[in-house]
Structure 1
Amino acid sequence: MIHFLLLISRQGKVRLTKWYSTYSKKERSKVLRELSGVTLTRGPRLCNFVEWRGLKVVYKRYASLYFCMCIDPDGNELEILEIIHHYVEVLDRYFGSVCELDLIYNFHKAYYILDEILISGELQESSKRTVVRSVAAQDSLVEAAKEQTGSTISNIIAHAAK
């Protein structure tokens, strides 16, 4: 099982987090501090697996971002590396050539794509084509709703929340 996913920039800024296990705010900030220190200081030729607090952290660097997943000690590290790579490939297909700014300004899409791939810390969808189709369908629904109401997305959300 995946306990959490972190996307950390080379400067140590957290760009995305997804928690599948329960952690308090204090524990979360401590985890972020510890793991950013561990992953950012490791050499590029060292393996991408780290034992941490009785768990395993699997990470992979893509351009200026570190994708980190924490798994059970008996979890399969290579499978997790494949899941990370799968997520990055889907992001690449959706954004063209994904970069850190895409994730900063379109974080809601990055979360939606992640939710299409993983649910409750388990792999849900392994087909890139299916995930991209699902995200495209959601985009078309949002566009149709915008055209129908003539509103911005924030007005649609505010109206739906009432």
Structure 2
Amino acid sequence: MIKAILVFNNHGKPRLSRFYQYYPEDMQQQIVRETFHLVSKRDDNVCNFLEGGTLIGGSDFKIIYRHYATLYFVFCVDSSESELGILDLIQVFVETLDKCFENVCELDLIFHVDKVHHILAELVMGGMVLETNMTEIITRIEEQNKLEKSEQSLDAVLLRSLSDKFTKI
């Protein structure tokens, strides 16, 4: 089971954190800090999995990560998860973000937090993997975007009709 998904930049600033197990907020921040220190000090040519830090469960848990440009994508999982499966899941997540934001960057994660969380929710919910087919995920995201646009146009029509009524009064 996935315990946490963390994305932070090269300086350790969290850009996305999603915990699927309850931790108090101060403990979450400590976990992000500890995970960053564990992952950032590793060379680029070493294995992308390691034992979990002391705060997230120690040797019973694994940290699986990928480093892309200025961002670390980190999944903290229990020992039942496949390391290679999670690496593939990270790849699907990053490629989906890349398609949705047309060459995703750190600023996309900052300014479009809601959309990033929605994409993540299409992949993982409650710590369990839901979907790994990128085409299916993108189809669901596009459907959501269409729905949001139709709601915005409906809201605009309602606002116009209300403003027309108030100007007549």
Query: In the alignment, what sits opposite 1:96?
Result: 102
Shift of 1:74: 3.6
Alignment of 1:138 onto 2:144: yes
Q: Residue 125 of structure 1: which of 128, 131, 136 is its match? A: 131
Q: Any residues of structure 2 matched to 1:11-160 within 5 Å, and which?
A: 11-52=11-52, 53-54=58-59, 55-150=61-156
Taking structure 2 as the reference length, the TM-score comes to: 0.85
Gaps of 5+ in 1: 152-162
RMSD: 1.2
Which stretches of structure 1, 4 residues or more, deviate above 6 A after TM superposition? none
Shift of 1:4: 0.3
Higher Cα Rg: structure 1 or 2? Answer: 2
Instruction: Give the number of equivalent residue pairs.
Output: 151
Identity across the alignment (%): 33
Query: In the alignment, what sits opposite 2:167?
Result: none
Taking structure 1 as the reference length, the TM-score comes to: 0.89
Shift of 1:28: 0.8
Shift of 1:123: 1.2
Q: Which residue identity does 2:12 align to in structure 1? A: G
